[in-house]
Amino acid sequence: MDLEQLYLRLPTRLQNVVVSAQGYRIQRSRYGRAFEEQLAGYESRSNRDFEQVKAHRDQRLQAFVRHAVATVPYYRDLFARLRLKADDIRSLEDLGQLPVLTKQTVQEQVDRFRSETFASQSLQMHHTSGSTGAGLQFPVTLESQHEQWSVWWRYRRWHGLQRNEWCLYFGGRSVVPLSQRRPPYWRTNRPGRQLMFSAYHLSDQTIADYLVEMERSGARWIHGYPSVVAFVAEQALRRGVRLPVRWVTTGAESLLPHQKQIVKRAFGVEPIEHYGMAEGVANISQCPHGGLHVDEDYSAVEFLPAESGAARVIGTNFTNPAFPLLRYDVGDLATPSDDVCSCGRPGRLVECIDGRQEDCVITRSGCRLGRLDHIFKDCVRVREAQIRQDQPGHVTIWLVTAEGYGQADEEALEREILKRVGDDLTFEIAHVDSIPRTRSGKLRFVVSNLSAEAA
């Protein structure tokens, strides 16, 4: 029996203790003097002009490329093959001398992207699947985590959010046993000041319990997947429930226009959008004036033209020296803007991010499951995945697999799906050679063919 299974067998009171203990560990690891110093640096650069911020970015980029070429086997060989020196890359524009790096290349040669200067025991492993559904595991330094959370808290503080604010959290973590059929459908992380609600139990039949607890808590901040938050907002409107919400922040999916309108009508605030990923190669944050700002001091972001007229997001991280990624294709699309934001903050803007438009998956009981990419986070031999739904309660999962994928991988995937969705959703796995893209060239992770009434 693994630790997660043991947790799920505990009574609710002890599950709250475990959640809070884990929250305490995360608080100690994520926040501290190093975090505060990083945050102060990021906030000071919000007041500089763009040329100063670009100079800061390019200086970090130069040092990072030198480190990558000197200590990472993949880049050592790449630069030798291209007859380039590390000092040939001195600015964002110089990165064009390097080929674009795909996730598939990283997956197939993951060990060759690790820096030789870090001992494994000094690092933590991060897991990601991204919008293509393909799994990747990679090491990160503690310092890089401090920096990532610093840039994320910078945009939150732009809006007046502080770390002592209680949060109503609607994410993908399975904190409530799937077999549970009555409230509470949430657990409490006291050190992290979070009420962690289960998205897996959320439905027309259970929403009243959620809204009662949200109102009882008095919390003013909601954070979660847009599809889940929009459903909660719609139900609050329908039932005439008024919550004292001051902030709604979203991530992991594209925030769609109709979702923005529902959230604004239900809670009386504009939802705040954010774009980022575990690999740390790009970050885009919304300011109080509504502008989507590229965080130029966090990574080197390029926008390469796509056939659709939008742009591919290509990023270079310089915050995680344990696993450098130069010109990494995130797999998302964005529409760059030439406008200048009235807020006065430096950096480029984007009009919209078109990388994570997810349809909900509907279970037999009517529960709406948002982003399910976490199912594939440990599937390193899955190149691409897509969930397709034609009827409530059943999905077909299309997989494009890499060499070495076998029965053990398939069984592990099936266990993970069952762990996340239980028996309320049946599924079948179909192995395909390729997955069609949308007209704009994007691979959609969820394709729902349900009618509006069914959804």
- Is 218 among the domain residues? yes
Q: At residue 411, what is the residue type? A: E
Residue of 259 and 34 predicted with greater confidence: 34
pLDDT for the residue 48: 93
Beta strands across the sheet bearing 284-286? 274-275, 284-286, 292-294, 349-353, 328-337, 311-317, 299-305
pLDDT for the residue 448: 86
CATH number, domain with residue 174? 3.40.50
Lowest mean pLDDT among 82-86, 159-163, 217-221, 256-260: 256-260
Q: Rounded CA gap, 166 and 221, in Å?
A: 7
CATH number, domain with residue 391? 3.30.300.30
CB contact at 8 A, 47 and 40: no
Whether 252 and 313 map to the same domain: the answer is no
- Is 136 among the domain residues? yes
pLDDT for the residue 440: 44
- Structural domain ending residue among the three candidates 236, 255, 271: 271
Give the residue among 199, 147, 205, 204 at the shortest CA–CA distance from 360.
199
Lowest mean pLDDT among 23-27, 121-125, 346-350: 121-125
Residue 346 CB: number of other CB atoms within 10 A? 20
Query: What are the phi and psi torsion angles at 303 (to 5°)?
Result: -120, 105
User: Mean pLDDT, to the nearest integer, of 40-54?
Assistant: 95
Whether 296 and 322 map to the same domain: the answer is yes
Helix, coil or strand: residue 10? coil
Whether 24 and 13 map to the same domain: the answer is yes
Q: Rounded CA gap, 377 and 373, in Å?
A: 7
Identify the domain containing residue 323 by its residue range.
Answer: 33-154+276-353
Residues 235-265: pLDDT tens digits? 999 899 999 999 999 987 778 777 888 899 9
- Is 289 among the domain residues? yes
Residue 213 confidence class, pLDDT cut points 50, 70, 90: very high
Lowest mean pLDDT among 309-313, 389-393, 442-446: 442-446
Q: Rounded CA gap, 283 and 39, in Å?
A: 15
Helix, coil or strand: residue 395? strand
Helices (H) and strands (E) in the chain, counts: 11, 20
CB contact at 8 A, 135 and 378: yes
In the chain, the largest separation of any two C-alpha atoms, in whole Å, equals: 66
Whether 396 and 330 map to the same domain: the answer is no
Whether 193 and 324 map to the same domain: the answer is no
Beta strands across the sheet bearing 446-448? 426-431, 394-401, 382-391, 446-448
Q: At residue 266, what is the residue type? A: A
Give the residue among 302, 349, 404 at the shortest CA–CA distance from 57.
302
Q: What is the DSSP string of 239-270?
A: HT------EEEE-SS---HHHHHHHHHHHSS-
> What whole-number percentage of the chain has pLDDT above 90?
65
Distances from the Cα of 42 to the Cα of 85, 126, 147, 276, angstroms:
30, 23, 9, 16
User: Mean pLDDT, to the nearest integer, of 114-137?
Assistant: 78
- Is 42 among the domain residues? yes
**Is the model's pLDDT at 357 over the cut of 90?**
no
CA 155 to chain centroid, in Å, comes to: 16
Q: Rounded CA gap, 37 and 56, in Å?
A: 17
What does pLDDT average to over the chain?
A: 90
Q: Running DSSP on this structure, what letter comes out for residue 272?
A: B
Residue 62 confidence class, pLDDT cut points 50, 70, 90: very high
Both tokens assigned to 135:
């799994």
Task: Pinpoint the alpha helices (H) of 128-283.
Answer: 142-158, 207-217, 226-239, 257-267
Query: What are the phi and psi torsion angles at 296 (to 5°)?
Result: -65, -25
Whether 63 and 149 map to the same domain: the answer is yes
User: Mean pLDDT, to the nearest integer, of 122-135?
Assistant: 72
Give the residue among 348, 295, 329, 313 at the shortest CA–CA distance from 148.
295
User: Mean pLDDT, to the nearest integer, of 62-89?
Assistant: 98
Residue 122 confidence class, pLDDT cut points 50, 70, 90: confident
- Is 453 among the domain residues? no
- Structural domain ending residue among the three candidates 326, 353, 380: 353
Residue of 316 and 107 predicted with greater confidence: 316
- Is 345 among the domain residues? yes
- Is 413 among the domain residues? yes
User: Mean pLDDT, to the nearest integer, of 8-15?
Assistant: 94
Lowest mean pLDDT among 82-91, 195-204, 217-226: 195-204
CATH number, domain with residue 293? 3.40.50.12780
- Structural domain ending residue among the three candidates 240, 271, 302: 271
Residue of 435 and 316 predicted with greater confidence: 316
Whether 169 and 182 map to the same domain: the answer is yes
pLDDT for the residue 192: 96
User: Mean pLDDT, to the nearest integer, of 183-192?
Assistant: 97
Q: Running DSSP on this structure, what letter comes out for residue 102?
A: P
Whether 249 and 180 map to the same domain: the answer is yes
Show Cβ contacts of residue 275 under 8 Å, excluding neighbours closer than 6 positions.
251, 282, 283, 284, 285, 292, 332, 334, 353, 355
Both tokens assigned to 62:
């130069």
Residue 393 confidence class, pLDDT cut points 50, 70, 90: very high
**Is the model's pLDDT at 163 over the cut of 90?**
yes
- Is 454 among the domain residues? no
Beta strand 124-128 pairing with 136-140: antiparallel
- Residue 331 belongs to what H/E stretch? strand 328-337
**Is the model's pLDDT at 129 over the cut of 70?**
no
Residue 61 confidence class, pLDDT cut points 50, 70, 90: very high
* Domains in the chain, number: 3
Whether 141 and 201 map to the same domain: the answer is no
Helix 50-71 to helix 73-82 angle, to the nearest 10 degrees?
Answer: 100
Residue 376 confidence class, pLDDT cut points 50, 70, 90: confident
Whether 175 and 265 map to the same domain: the answer is yes
Whether 287 and 373 map to the same domain: the answer is no
Whether 123 and 76 map to the same domain: the answer is yes
Residues 303-352: pLDDT tens digits? 998 765 778 999 999 999 999 999 999 888 889 999 999 999 998 999 98
